[in-house]
Amino acid sequence: FLCSELFVPRLNGIHRYLWLAGWNESVHPLHWHLMVKRKIVVTEDPDMHLVCTDQAIFVKPLPISLLNYHVYLHHLSNHDTLSAAARGFLRTYSRLVIHESDFLLAQQHYLLPSSMKWLDWSLLSAQFTVIPINSVNRRYRYGELRLSRLNLIYRVWCGRLMYFRLHRSYTAYFANQYKGSLVLFAYTTVIHTALQTMLNAEDSCLNLVLCRVSLWFGTLTIIFVVISVMFQTLYLLIVFLFNLQATL
Interval 34-53 mean pLDDT? 96
- Rounded Cα distance between 166 and 239, Å, is 14
Residue 85 has pLDDT above 80, yes or no: yes
Quote the pTM value. 0.76
Q: Which of 78, 100, 7, 93 lies closest to 45 in space, CA to CA? A: 7
- Rounded Cα distance between 2 and 75, Å, is 9
Under the banding of pLDDT at 50, 70 and 90, the label for residue 75 is confident
pLDDT in tens, 136-172: 999 999 999 999 999 989 988 887 878 998 766 656 5
Interval 58-71 mean pLDDT? 88
